[in-house]
Structure 1
Amino acid sequence: MHNEYETLEDLWNEDPKSQKKDTLSSVIGSKGSLKEQIEQIKTAALYPENGLPIMLLGPSGSGKTYLARCIYNYCLEQKLIDKNSAFISLNCAQYYHNPELLSSLLFGYIKGAFTGADKDKKGLLENANGGILFLDEVHRLTEEGQEKLFTFMDSGEYSPIGDNSIRKTSKVRLIFATTESIQSTFLPTFIRRLPVIINIPSFSERPKQEKIHLIDDFFLQESKILKHTIQVSKQVISFLLFSNFEGNVGKIKNIIKYSCGSSYAKMKDKKIIKVRISDLPIGSTEQLKESMYHQISNRYQDKIYDYTQPNLLTINSKEQINLRATYFQFVNEFKRLELGKITTEYYINDMMNNVNLLLDDLVFNSQINSNESLFSILTFNIKSTFKYMEENYGFEQDGNKILSIAHLLYFKEEQEILINHTEWHSIRPKLITFIDMHMGNSLWLAKRMLAHLSERLDFPILDEDLILISFYLNSVNIQDVKNEIKSIILAHGYSTASSMANIANRMLKKKFFQAIDMPIDTTINDIENKVLDFIDNNNIEKGLILLVDMGSLSELSVRLKNKLKGPLLLIDFVSTPLVLEIGSLLLQRKNINEINEEILKNIKINKQLVYPVEKKKKAILTCCYTGMGSAIQIQEILHNSLNHSSPLVSIVPYDYHSLKQNKQKELPFQIYDVLAIIGTADPGIEGIPYIGLDHLISGEDIEDFINILNCNFKVNETQLKKDLVFKFSLKRIIEKLTILDVNKVLTFVQDAVDKMEERFDIKLSNNKRFLLYIHCCCMVERILRKEEVDMQEDIKEFIQKEKRKLEIIHFSFSEIEKEYTIKISDLEIRLICDIVFND
């Protein structure tokens, strides 16, 4: 498969013959519902000597005989058997009432073995020597027949009927098929001789796209037989796709054969014969009343099948072409990222752009009747899911998001696109890990959204859709959705918990509390399961507050502490005043430690703060005086540098001001064993080494940093030094933070900082100068993007008090204002002043 294509059509219509495929790999479903089965079959066929016996298990008409023939062709292709070897098939059901005749057919007989045996007769085992013997409906074999057969499977020898002293041998590959339960039908001794049992899904169990491929293939076969182009109505396609026939694939094939024959009888003199609902066999039309064809047929188009141009089937709608192209780009561009041809930022931005272009095209350039049944169902359920997301996770819904996802699911039709990409299975886990690292919040929300939709619409969650939705959500700025402490009120009674939660949420004007109402006979096991279910479906990194109305905290904390993903504050004897008190602390953005210390100091209540008991993972915190953006970039550079040395250490960006104010009370110190803090300003936490980013850049503290790591892990010092020296340069950090010309903006910022030093008659430390470089470069880009900084309540008072300082700073940066045609606000000047004059 190529990596580059001239057009989207070239990508979609790539000639499958350009890739050499074996017969089994060409079976419809070989990369889908039959993927595991095909691999098992190949393993059995390639096994030394005569391969391994294979049992095909599946309902009538599911394709067992066809698959047996494919196995034979595969053995020929792989030169496992001679090109002249036989494929012999026997349906054992034909001889169910005459087991002696069946045995004589299988094993042969000698003259005089029974009445009518007037000469020696070879059996099928001998005729199939060197080839394949396929026994269909093998459950019809008597116990005696099974015993004879497994004796042959063990020894490779058998005796013809009539003389047990004769020992014959045969090198034959055995394939069995049955529609019955193996355990209840076969002797245990026979089952033990079946190392490979292959389950074949029914037509209704196949993915929708495989059903369409099967239908297409059958119509194409009929076109070839009738030597006519066949046009099939969308109603017929829809009926075949959604009707549930007992005969499965075989029944579908027969209906298609009859329908094409019926149309041919009427139109054989015409160039194109048209298959309509009226051409279906009378017996099958009874199912029309029960099928959904009138509801969903508008999703499909009339199809043309021409045996002279089979590739017509691969010419899909522009929606399908664009879908495939976008999904394939996830993998192809990620390969370029792994090779270092593009940056992480470029990949994320490019993929977000591609996703939005795809969704915009589906919404604005595709024709869908908004009243069409399936689209209405999709839209309704997506609205419900978005409402659920808003209520539980603060994710704001709007019509654009709903329409975008509805169109995506409508046109994708649950098909798995990337299963056809040769490198999807190897890249999938790495790509999802990458998204979790760089867009973890978006991935988490996408999982919740698709899980909720999956339950309502009964469709599977595909990793490829999880990836696309993650990029989409990341593009609509949902970064702060989950970063809050979660709270549950869990109380006995019909609406006790709900009433308290509703009152508190209304009074606080924010939905802090969720409620779980329980029957009076609820057990501690029930409570544990409720909490664990909540933990599984919510992010509780910041903590979970559980308010209960029963005195069982000790037991509950013991049960939960080994299963926690974050801190849990348990509080007993819940009441409305207690809920409001906690809500007021949440409004003040107190962390869970502060809430635990402050909650109702003057009232005696039972409470426990429980942390996960597993061994704390090592971590390095990154922080920056100017905000989280720079801390995250430092995290990324460190992560990439340490990836070769120690995957066991987490790099956690954190707010500098919170660290400076609350020290080791902050959450990272409860969850991690913090080894060091790296940043642009020292938060001054006793016992935790701090390394300034300027010292890493100068190389001054690289040895100290490596020594810290060496005390906890075995690191590759030489490689780590190279990575740190290369990646921790001022230019590279600013390149990651901005899209500006680094040399240009740094020159102007350096001049401005020099002017400040001269006019204030001060000498800035290397650390402050370094911090100013980063902050001011980011400031220029922030102003160009028209992004605002947080309002400062005391700004007017500060301007009056520090007027002279602000004037000097503003003068020093006047050249930057002229060059970039921007206006640096008093709020921005204030931040620069803080960096220069605050310790």
Structure 2
Amino acid sequence: MRKDIENYLYKLTKDYSQTAKTSFSASSISQQVGLNRSTVSSYLNEAFRKQKLLKVKTYPVSFLHKQAFAETFFEANHLEYDSFEELFSEAPTKNKEKDPLGTIIGAFGSLKEKINQVKTAAMYPNGGLPVMLLGASGSGKTFLAEKIYEYMVEKQIITFSAPYISHNCAQYFNNPELLSSVLFGYAKGAFTGADTDKEGLLDAADGGVLFLDEVHRLSEEGQEKLFTFMDTGEYSPIGNDSVRKKADIRLIFATTEDIESAFLPTFLRRLPVVVSLPSFHERPQPERLQLIDQFFIQESNILQKELSVSSKVIHFLLDADLEGNVGKIKNLIKFACGNAYAKQHDNQRINVKLLDIPIENLLQPFSSAKVTSQRLMDERVYLPNTEIQPDLETSERKRLKTFFTRLLDDYKKVEDGVLTPGQLISFATENVVLLMDEFVFFTPEDKETSFFSFITYNIRSSFQFMNENYGFDQDGNKILSIANYLYVKENQDFLLEHTDWITLKNSLLHFLEEQMRDEVWLAKRFLNSLSLHLDSEVLDEDIVFIALYLHSMNLTMTDTSTKAIVLAHGYSTASSMANVANRMLQKNIFHAYDMPLGITVDEVEKKVFQYIENYPVEKGLIVLIDMGSLNLITEKLASKISTPLLVIDSFNAPLLLEVGNLINNSQTIFEISEQINETLPIKKQLAMPKADKKKAIITCCYTGMGSAVQIKEILQKSLGKTGETLTVLPYDYQKLKENKRRELPFHIYNVLAIVGTENPEIENVPYFGLDKLVNGELIDEFVQNIAQHFRVDDQGLKQELIFNFSLKKMVENLTILDADRVLYLVSETINEIERVLEITFDANKKYLLFLHISCMIERILRKEEVDKQEDIDEYVKENRVMMEKIHRSLQNIEEKYTIKVSSLELRLINDIIFS
């Protein structure tokens, strides 16, 4: 009898999060085990004295199984507590905050937006937002609800001891009224059989999470009562509307039905967050494979056997059109492993074959949308007592992942100023070359199969396209290396769940475009061409890898000059004239479009923009056309382009040669426009972009482009999000000095300012000398200039400029402290001083405070004293109020560095502020 009570309490404690707290009382336990209350109470107190139970002195008194509690939560320090809150306050703090939702397969892929939705709902103040999960049976709604609860506990949105109550409403299919009574509780006499008052799920879930699966089983009356509770936090038990109960509950619903037809509109209006979960076959292949791996790992752990699963089983599970989604896949894997285990239980390795799957499932058709087009995978081996098995991947894929991990680590070092951009490019290029050298000699087992041949053939076609259009030479080793690279990857985004990649890839791509513009552009064009042949998407990781590979070959654009296209009516008029001109110029300068006689201006426009999409036209575009309507064509094109445009009407062969020669001689589009007038009578129009010009700041340096690029990087870092809409453009100082506003940036951009080491003296463009920014003299003026065009945090931008231009280096030179940490703390302190004193510092004063307080911290840590001040006592009396406010603002620094700021130090800060 005693053992029955102990076993029951053990199970009850293990299920604590899904159990009402009143269930741990002697009275409740006596009802469950069928013994009178006094007997149960006697047994419980005896077990407590033997230190087998924990006692919580609530009303009524509760008992928890000590061992079960330790297994589920943590080792309790005492046996007796005044409340559950006191017990759970002993929970050990975590060294690193976890993200249970981030561990879900697909959290950074197909489920990324869904996860963000539920996080928003969970974090929303005043009780969060109700969440409705939609999806077919087996799509993971119950699993996601549990993870939402874990996320709330981890983020301390709800307490560690908060209940999680999960209830499937489908069991009340024929009795929705009974479902309402279970949900809200009922009063004695509410219906036949209601002999006592009974608490409902809302009572049990108070303070925690209630998950109602198949919630569409609620009657309309039940839905009305539920949304009234969602509005007010109050409800009445069935049969007694005079009683008003309150509960604080986070609600999660789930249904497989169409919500528009299954729920009242008034109920749906209370659901701000509706999350639709994809079926198994709507998931990307990498995610489906991860789920399959996870289930086989679980079975390996259960069976305590090594599992070898044939490639045919994996492909069947990936592609068969099975009902039941993830749940069905999991059950099939469980059955197949059990079936194989029954036949081979004496073996250390269990071989799982296709025939271990139930025959009725093997006859299911394959999902036409998801059949794996790639080569058959190798068999996959799963080991017991593991959670993640990276050895399921090939060594080549592991090396690729390692490359990207190192690249991201190095990129973070560039952002932190530990590495220079040039060093990053050099290291990454070397690693790419090593990998590609390996891929040249990599021999796939099925190298002669159609898939590998298909890749190789289409890479050759893409190389030919690149050669014809961009001078990109074919090379057998290049083709082989890229073919093996794509073969190893199987066109999978294997960085789908790499957190750093998700966070940094956009800024990394932007960085590479700045450092290797030509190579990134060529990589995109090559991969775009290849993707059309392979019917696959272009992945960002492939752009990065191929661009670095091209950089290793010292490839650059063969032609970055002004571009020119020829449009003429007739079957081959344009192409014939362009070919003749290109042969005579010995360079592929003109691109031709032959046009039918009835072509409209809109169709001409499409042809031009088709060219712009495929070719870089930053230096401007010359359009030679034979159809007249010069004004109309120029106006339509100029309204949409972002570069200078020269339209020439009624061209001939001599004109083509003249234009081609000028392009060959690296003349700008403006120079070409001026010079062709002198030799040939033509109709032309030179147009600047009519669309609003993007705003820009030009950086320059008398000594060359290197420093201009460094100034640009500091400015971009300072500008933060504003830098996403404001272009910072390094440019050649000598060209600016000589050509002034004739240089291309002034035609393409609205130049707000020039920052540099020497003033190129451009009329009506403000110049900010680097020295004046470093010493803070022109910071205010610079920020005012930016603020005229963008909504910026003036004070924040000033502080960022001070940080990035000089402070960090100054602090690193003057102290041995961690510069980033000390500057962050000092920044917070200065903000606090401004707040408590109700003043705003100018840039110079703020700069001085940064340096002074940073050095003060180290001075105190070294126990160095400032000069004696004979009048300190009198000074403190006169300035007591201000000094106390300043001292309070310094408390964070005192706590972080365990120091005490003296009156002598406070006086110095006070003098800086008010002198």
Q: Mark yes or no: TM-score above 0.5.
A: yes
Q: 1:477 aligns with which of 545, 554, 563?
A: 554
Q: 2:590 aligns with which of 513, 534, 543?
A: 513
Q: Is the 8 A contact 1:618 1:673 kept in 2?
A: yes
Q: 1:161 to 1:555 in 2, by over 3 A?
A: farther
Q: 1:656 to 1:119 in 2, by over 3 A?
A: closer
Q: Does the residue aligned with 2:564 lie in a helix, a strand or coil? A: strand
Q: 1:597 aligns with which of 674, 679, 682?
A: 674
Q: Distance in 1 between matches of 2:365 and 2:189?
A: 58
- Structure 1 residue 217 displacement after superposition: 1.0
Corresponding letter in the other structure for 1:476: M
User: Residue by residue, what CA displacement relative to the aligned partner does 1:767-795 show, whole Å, maximum 9, x if unpaired?
Assistant: xxxxxxxxxxxxxxxxxxxxxxxxxxxxx
Corresponding letter in the other structure for 2:165: F
1:89 and 2:205 are equivalent in the alignment = no
Q: Distance in 2 between matches of 1:199 and 1:23?
A: 19
Q: 1:135 to 1:383 in 2, by over 3 A?
A: farther
Bigger drift between 573-582 and 237-246 goes to 573-582
Q: Distance in 2 between matches of 1:214 and 1:711?
A: 52
Q: Distance in 2 between matches of 1:721 and 1:91?
A: 62
Quote the residue 1:190 is aligned against.
267
- Structure 1 residue 232 displacement after superposition: 0.5
1:200 and 2:277 are equivalent in the alignment = yes
Within-5 A mapping of 1:203-222: 203-222=280-299
- Structure 1 residue 313 displacement after superposition: 4.6
- Structure 1 residue 354 displacement after superposition: 0.8
Q: Distance in 2 between matches of 1:122 and 1:344?
A: 66
* Cα RMSD for the two superposed structures: 4.6
Q: Is the 8 A contact 1:385 1:449 kept in 2?
A: yes
Q: Distance in 2 between matches of 1:39 and 1:295?
A: 29
Q: Distance in 1 between matches of 2:209 and 2:806?
A: 61
Q: Distance in 2 between matches of 1:408 and 1:283?
A: 39
Corresponding letter in the other structure for 2:167: S
User: Residue by residue, what CA displacement relative to the aligned partner does 1:234-259 show, whole Å, maximum 9, x if unpaired?
Assistant: 22122222334343222221221221
Q: Does the residue aligned with 2:248 lie in a helix, a strand or coil? A: coil
Q: Distance in 2 between matches of 1:663 and 1:129?
A: 72
Corresponding letter in the other structure for 2:140: G
Q: 1:57 to 1:518 in 2, by over 3 A?
A: farther
TM-score, length of structure 2 as denominator length: 0.65
Q: 1:163 to 1:619 in 2, by over 3 A?
A: closer
User: Residue by residue, what CA displacement relative to the aligned partner does 1:150-171 show, whole Å, maximum 9, x if unpaired?
Assistant: 1221122233444444434333
Q: Is the 8 A contact 2:211 2:251 kept in 1?
A: yes
1:636 and 2:709 are equivalent in the alignment = yes
Q: Distance in 2 between matches of 1:405 and 1:317?
A: 17
Quote the residue 1:777 is aligned against.
none
Q: 1:518 to 1:138 in 2, by over 3 A?
A: farther
Q: Is the 8 A contact 1:631 1:679 kept in 2?
A: no
Corresponding letter in the other structure for 1:57: L
1:380 and 2:453 are equivalent in the alignment = no
Within-5 A mapping of 1:543-554: 543-554=620-631
Q: Distance in 2 between matches of 1:170 and 1:637?
A: 59
Q: Does the residue aligned with 1:204 lie in a helix, a strand or coil? A: helix
Q: Is the 8 A contact 2:165 2:201 kept in 1?
A: no
Q: Distance in 1 between matches of 2:736 and 2:249?
A: 75
Q: Distance in 1 between matches of 2:473 and 2:489?
A: 25
Q: Distance in 2 between matches of 1:544 and 1:417?
A: 39
Q: Distance in 1 between matches of 2:197 and 2:696?
A: 80
Q: Is the 8 A contact 2:380 2:392 kept in 1?
A: no
- Structure 1 residue 477 displacement after superposition: 1.7
Q: Is the 8 A contact 2:184 2:201 kept in 1?
A: yes
Quote the residue 1:276 is aligned against.
353
Query: Structure 2: where are the runs of 5+ without partners?
Result: 1-93, 787-796, 811-915
- Structure 1 residue 216 displacement after superposition: 1.0
1:357 and 2:434 are equivalent in the alignment = yes
Quote the residue 1:402 is aligned against.
479
Q: Is the 8 A contact 2:442 2:484 kept in 1?
A: no
Within-5 A mapping of 1:12-161: 21-48=98-125, 50-78=127-155, 80-81=158-159, 83=161, 85-92=163-170, 95-96=172-173, 98-110=175-187, 113=190, 122-161=199-238
User: Residue by residue, what CA displacement relative to the aligned partner does 1:55-111 show, whole Å, maximum 9, x if unpaired?
Assistant: 11233322112111222344455562563724222144x545554344344334455
Within-5 A mapping of 1:587-666: 587-599=664-676, 605-613=682-690, 614-615=692-693, 631-633=704-706, 635-636=708-709, 639=712, 652-653=730-731
Bigger drift between 210-219 and 70-79 goes to 70-79
Quote the residue 2:909 is aligned against.
none
1:235 and 2:317 are equivalent in the alignment = no
Q: Does the residue aligned with 2:384 lie in a helix, a strand or coil? A: coil
Q: Is the 8 A contact 2:571 2:594 kept in 1?
A: yes
Quote the residue 1:444 is aligned against.
521
Within-5 A mapping of 1:641-720: 652-653=730-731, 667=744, 670-671=747-748
Q: Distance in 2 between matches of 1:720 and 1:267?
A: 66
Q: Is the 8 A contact 1:232 1:276 kept in 2?
A: yes
TM-score, length of structure 1 as denominator length: 0.71
Q: Distance in 1 between matches of 2:665 and 2:478?
A: 32
- Structure 1 residue 219 displacement after superposition: 0.8
User: Residue by residue, what CA displacement relative to the aligned partner does 1:460-508 show, whole Å, maximum 9, x if unpaired?
Assistant: 4443333222222222122233503222334566666555545554565
User: Residue by residue, what CA displacement relative to the aligned partner does 1:182-213 show, whole Å, maximum 9, x if unpaired?
Assistant: 45654332222112222322223323332222
- Structure 1 residue 125 displacement after superposition: 3.2
Q: Distance in 2 between matches of 1:331 and 1:357?
A: 18
Q: Does the residue aligned with 2:133 lie in a helix, a strand or coil? A: strand
- Structure 1 residue 453 displacement after superposition: 3.6
Quote the residue 1:785 is aligned against.
none
Within-5 A mapping of 1:815-830: none
Corresponding letter in the other structure for 2:397: Q
Q: Distance in 1 between matches of 2:100 and 2:381?
A: 26
Query: Structure 1: where are the runs of 5+ without partners?
Result: 1-16, 625-629, 727-839
Q: Does the residue aligned with 2:522 lie in a helix, a strand or coil? A: helix
Q: Does the residue aligned with 2:351 lie in a helix, a strand or coil? A: strand
Q: Is the 8 A contact 1:235 1:297 kept in 2?
A: no
Q: Is the 8 A contact 2:688 2:747 kept in 1?
A: yes
Q: Distance in 2 between matches of 1:20 and 1:358?
A: 36
Q: Does the residue aligned with 2:452 lie in a helix, a strand or coil? A: helix
- Structure 1 residue 610 displacement after superposition: 1.1
Q: Distance in 2 between matches of 1:720 and 1:480?
A: 34
1:542 and 2:619 are equivalent in the alignment = yes
- Structure 1 residue 356 displacement after superposition: 1.1
Q: 1:491 to 1:183 in 2, by over 3 A?
A: farther
Within-5 A mapping of 1:758-769: none
- Structure 1 residue 326 displacement after superposition: 0.8
Q: Is the 8 A contact 1:379 1:406 kept in 2?
A: yes
Q: Distance in 1 between matches of 2:586 and 2:633?
A: 31
Q: Does the residue aligned with 2:612 lie in a helix, a strand or coil? A: helix
Q: Distance in 2 between matches of 1:654 and 1:429?
A: 27
User: Residue by residue, what CA displacement relative to the aligned partner does 1:689-739 show, whole Å, maximum 9, x if unpaired?
Assistant: 9x9xxxx99x9xx99x999x989968999999989x99xxxxxxxxxxxxx
Percent identity, aligned pairs only, is 46
Q: Distance in 2 between matches of 1:713 and 1:301?
A: 62
1:563 and 2:640 are equivalent in the alignment = yes
Quote the residue 1:816 is aligned against.
none
1:170 and 2:247 are equivalent in the alignment = yes
User: Residue by residue, what CA displacement relative to the aligned partner does 1:132-156 show, whole Å, maximum 9, x if unpaired?
Assistant: 3322233454544433321221122
Q: Does the residue aligned with 1:465 lie in a helix, a strand or coil? A: helix
Bigger drift between 639-648 and 508-517 goes to 639-648
**Matched residues, number:** 691
Q: Is the 8 A contact 1:546 1:570 kept in 2?
A: yes
